[in-house]
Amino acid sequence: MAQSTFRIFFSTGAWLVLAFLLLPILVVIPVSLTDTSYIGLPKEGLSLQHYAAYFQSPGWMAATWTSIWIGLVVAALATAFGTAFAIGCWFLSDRASTVARWILITPILVPPVVQSLGFYRFWVTLGLIDTNFGVILAHTLLALPYVSISVFAALANLDRRIPQAARSLGASVWQTVRAVVVPAAIPGMITGAIFAFIVSFDEIVGVLFITVRNVTTLPKKIWEGIQEDIDPTIASVATMLVVLTLIVTAIRILRK
């Protein structure tokens, strides 16, 4: 069985895809351990100086904290609004629900540059340029489709007769939603919240359009580092993010 699996893996060229995904990571890791002050492989030995520079830099720490707390706020807001939207559509007819879903997933279909240009023009009018609230609002709008889709998927397994039975027994609409629909939607809410945080934490195009100097997220800090001064600290940040992602993924797999 194992030999057959490996044969299929190599014969289909899947190893090329795997190599394409892993090679950049395999390059970034040794670069993050370089003993030089510029981007390059280690010369005399491995060094953790750029990891230390990251933790000792007020600029990097501030950008990291900004990305984290904005991501958490966006996850909470997107989960609340996205869940409410999904539950409302669940109670609608199938046709109306389908139309509403297509409208909501529009941000996923539109190129990021087009979205960001729209945010910029609208945010200038509202006076939200270079504000934390402006970034949170933009990221929430971008994350809403992911939450709603996750909640839609969770509610697909809920029998519509169960809420109807609750209503026939005297439960109000809010009681039915709170006691029957929301518990069924919780797995989708958790998944959607994770996606919303990732979308916010990783978003860069919109941030570049609607911020100047007052708001600096971690992706923006990395971008500025690439544009102004190619600092190996960037490779250290990238390596830590990769390691953190692998740890979370491993924990998730082991818990199954």
Domains by residue range for the chain, with CATH: 22-56+235-256 (no CATH), 59-216 (1.10.3720.10)
d(CA 31, CA 3): 35
Task: Report the predicted TM-score, pTM, of the whole model to 2 decimal places.
Answer: 0.84
Convert the pLDDT of each residue in 17-72 to its tens digit: 777 777 777 778 887 777 777 777 777 777 788 888 888 888 889 999 999 999 99
The type of residue at 15 is W
Please state the rounded mean pLDDT for residues 162-173: 77
Reply yes or no on whether the pLDDT at 79 is more than 90: yes
Convert the pLDDT of each residue in 184-214 to its tens digit: 889 889 989 999 999 999 899 999 999 988 8
- The crossing angle, in degrees rounded to 10, of helices 132-155 and 182-202 is 140
Of 46-60, 92-106, 120-134, which gets the smallest average pLDDT?
92-106
d(CA 152, CA 210): 31
Please state the rounded mean pLDDT for residues 221-237: 79
Please state the rounded mean pLDDT for residues 120-145: 91
Q: Which pair of tokens denotes residue 215?
A: 């708001």
What pLDDT is attached to residue 50?
82
d(CA 65, CA 140): 18
CA angle at residue 252 from 63 to 243, to 5 degrees?
Answer: 40
Please state the rounded mean pLDDT for residues 87-107: 76
